[in-house]
Structure 1
Amino acid sequence: MDERTVITIGREFGSGGHEIGMKLAERLGIKCYDKELLELAAKESGLCEDLFASQDEKPTNSFLYSLVMDTYSLGYTSSYMDMPINHKVFLAQFDTIKKLAQRESCVIVGRCADYALEDNPFAVSVWIKADLDVRIQRIKKLYDLSDNKAADMIQKTDKRRASYYNYYSSKKWGEAKSYDLCLDSGQLGIDGSIDLILKYIELKEKNNKQ
């Protein structure tokens, strides 16, 4: 791997994107940021960390809630202060993602990271999918749910993530042209998916040096 590489992972719920991100980072000896990004963004922005948890990958929020939770914001200009809280949270995450990519190699899961870093030459954007049956079995086991409840959880989570991504980015969630590499973890497995991502990075860096 070159001096700096940032891998962003977009994922269908239940496809194993988080596990792939964590194990990929471990293989490379770098950090993986998923929920950890929320804590970091809160620290760097001065916004209350609870705001990031409540707004995590959600596209919109009620106007009343925005007004109430605005009292948590600190140290920003009046124009920023007038902004709805969901926009503040997104911008804080967006800024944190860009700063991370400038200072270290890492893996970032979700949060429109591929969009934030689309002009970054060190970034590799990955989309991970799997057939619904595969995802149902994974979520069923992880959360001890029935097939129907697992399927419902998948549908709602995917819908929320897609709405968030499509709302804040100029691209479409899950559309192949939005990413550098798209793979099916149901076909490849967790380790096979990691191997493919690593091979892609190796080939990309080799090609860039020619």
Structure 2
Amino acid sequence: MGVVTMAEKKIITIGRQFGSGGKQIGEALAEKMNIPFYDKELLKEAAKNSGICEEIFDSFDEKPTNSFLYSLVMDPYSLGFGNSTELPLNHKVFLAAFDTIKNLAEKDGSCVFVGRCADYALRDLDNVVNIFLYADMDDRTARIAKKYNISESKAKDMIKKEDKARASYYNYYTSKRWGEMKGYDICINTSKYGIDKTIDLLYDIVNNY
């Protein structure tokens, strides 16, 4: 198993289409590099540190919001929300998760984050590799249908809904566009390489980044 040394600190963020295998790949990559992995775990950490219950975090997790909240994130004081206690609940949730991502990255030095605008939260750091994973619709459909034991038709509907939610969340809370190639360092079609080869490929790339 590879181990990232102090001189090779790497933070990896993974954006992903629903059904592309992003979480599985992120977990395996973190294990192979012997560094922490954060996905749903991030919500628990944010809930613990903010005082907002975990269930509320879960309900707002990568869910679409509105353009007004985008303005709040960019400059809350300009809209009269100078006091954080006055912010809407979903805005508090986002900011708590945002701060947690930065704190965990600082604490761990090396780690893997999946989703939740981690690439944007860590945009000022030099040792971050931003990855986006996508896949062919047929492969995504088969993976989701098997995972949730649903029909392919329902799987496709689920994929469209989840991708739309992730894109809306990301596009409102960041200055980038979800899935747009120029916003990432590495974009990989997991259908072309498969899950295992994608993990190996990313491991080799990241260790030579």
| TM-score tier (shorter) | 0.7 to 0.9
Question: Which residue in 2 is equivalent to 1:96?
Answer: 100
**SS of alignment partner, residue 60 of structure 1:** coil
| In 1, Cα distance between equivalents of 2:65 and 2:206 | 35
Unaligned runs of 5+ in 2: 67-80
Aligned-pair distance for 1:132? Answer: 0.5
Unaligned runs of 5+ in 1: 62-76, 205-210
Aligned-pair distance for 1:153? Answer: 0.2
**SS of alignment partner, residue 195 of structure 2:** helix
**SS of alignment partner, residue 83 of structure 2:** helix
**SS of alignment partner, residue 15 of structure 2:** strand
Specify the code of the residue in structure 1 equivalent to 2:181: A
| In 2, Cα distance between equivalents of 1:30 and 1:173 | 26
**SS of alignment partner, residue 101 of structure 1:** helix
Q: Identify the match of residue 85 of structure 1 among 84, 89, 107.
A: 89
Q: CA RMSD in A?
A: 1.4
Specify the code of the residue in structure 2 equivalent to 1:131: D
Q: Identify the match of residue 39 of structure 1 among 44, 55, 65.
A: 44
| In 2, Cα distance between equivalents of 1:202 and 1:22 | 16
Q: Identify the match of residue 153 of structure 1 among 140, 149, 158.
A: 158
Aligned-pair distance for 1:60? Answer: 2.1
| In 1, Cα distance between equivalents of 2:124 and 2:201 | 23
Query: After the TM superposition, which segments of 4 or more aligned residues of structure 1 sit over 3 Å from their partners?
Result: none
Cα 1:78–1:49, aligned 2, differ >3 Å: closer, same or farther?
Answer: farther
Specify the code of the residue in structure 1 equivalent to 2:84: Y
| In 2, Cα distance between equivalents of 1:111 and 1:40 | 13
Aligned-pair distance for 1:30? Answer: 1.4
| In 1, Cα distance between equivalents of 2:10 and 2:207 | 11
| In 2, Cα distance between equivalents of 1:118 and 1:176 | 16
Residue 139 of structure 1 pairs with residue 144 of structure 2 = yes
Residues 43-91 of structure 1: CA deviation (Å, up to 9, x unaligned): 1112111110010001328xxxxxxxxxxxxxxx981111111110110
Specify the code of the residue in structure 2 equivalent to 1:32: F
| In 2, Cα distance between equivalents of 1:135 and 1:2 | 35
Residue 48 of structure 1 pairs with residue 68 of structure 2 = no
Aligned-pair distance for 1:203? Answer: 2.3
Aligned length: 189
**Alignment check: 8 A CA contact 1:14 1:154 kept:** yes
Q: How does 1:178-193 map to 2 (within 5 A)?
A: 178-193=183-198
**Alignment check: 8 A CA contact 1:34 1:110 kept:** yes
